[in-house]
A and B are shown apart, each in its own frame.
Chain A
Amino acid sequence: AQSVAQPEDQVNVAEGNPLTVKCTYSVSGNPYLFWYVQYPNRGLQFLLKYITGDNLVKGSYGFEAEFNKSQTSFHLKKPSALVSDSALYFCAVRDGGGANNLFFGTGTRLTVIP
């Protein structure tokens, strides 16, 4: 069965510093991995995905994620954090079945401190 784990409930970073939000995955077969962001009282917004190809995936709002097969990780990164990046971030993995269901991690709340 597919699953992802986000080991940190909360990440705090100073504005302008690099940020990392961690995610590890467990899949049978090739991983299809995603990052989403959620602002208060809103739905989730797609940031980026890894299907195949380059291990460094670039996405929206200056975010990128690094796929590491040996460590089964897909950490979200940004070189310089903005206060507006403060939100809830979810890692997700897609199952290989016809329904294309996504299974989400428990989320990491990112707070960027001015």
Chain B
Amino acid sequence: SQTIHQWPATLVQPVGSPLSLECTVEGTSNPNLYWYRQAAGRGLQLLFYSVGIGQISSEVPQNLSASRPQDRQFILSSKKLLLSDSGFYLCAWTQKTSPLHFGNGTRLTVT
């Protein structure tokens, strides 16, 4: 069966520090991969999605970037974090018409 792993679960980083959040999927190949951000426990904002290795689409301009170095690995990065980058970051995958499957999220606090 397919599983999705996200880490770390929580992260506290100072303003100006770099960021790297990792997401991996097991049990499937060539999934579509997504990064969402959820602010204040409410609506989800699609940040990036990828339909294949090295293919990244950005939905909103911001301080973050994403990479997909391997088929089932999706990384969210920043060179210098801002206070406004705080939030709950969710990785997800889907394939064809299957529902979106989410990881357990990373709560990022920028201090």
- The binding surface of chain B is classed by DSSP as strand
B90: which of A44, A49, A101 is its contact (CB, 8 Å)?
A: A44
Instruction: For the complex, count residues of A whose C-beta is within 8 A of B.
Output: 24
- Judged by a CB distance under 8 angstroms, whether A74 is at the interface is no
- Judged by a CB distance under 8 angstroms, whether B15 is at the interface is no
Instruction: Closest B residue to A106 by CB, please name it.
Output: B43
A99: which of B43, B51, B103 is its contact (CB, 8 Å)?
A: B51
- Judged by a CB distance under 8 angstroms, whether A68 is at the interface is no
Whether the pair B46, A101 counts as a contact (CB closer than 8 A) is yes
Interface membership of chain A positions 26-37, coded 1 if the CB is closer than 8 angstroms to chain B and 0 otherwise: 000000101010
Chain A residues with CB under 8 A of B101: 46
Whether the pair A45, B102 counts as a contact (CB closer than 8 A) is yes
Instruction: Closest B residue to A51 by CB, please name it.
Output: B97
Chain B residues with CB under 8 A of A51: 97
- Judged by a CB distance under 8 angstroms, whether B49 is at the interface is yes
Whether the pair A44, B102 counts as a contact (CB closer than 8 A) is yes
**Chain A positions 43-99 with a Cβ under 8 Å from a chain B Cβ:** 43-46, 49, 51, 88, 90, 92, 98-99
B104: which of A34, A42, A101, A102 is its contact (CB, 8 Å)?
A: A42
Whether the pair A43, B97 counts as a contact (CB closer than 8 A) is no
Chain B residues with CB under 8 A of A32: 97
CA of A103 to CA of B43, assembled, Å: 10
- Judged by a CB distance under 8 angstroms, whether B41 is at the interface is yes
**B→A interface (CB under 8 Å):** 6, 32, 34, 41-44, 46, 49, 51, 57, 88, 90, 92, 94, 96-97, 99-105, 107
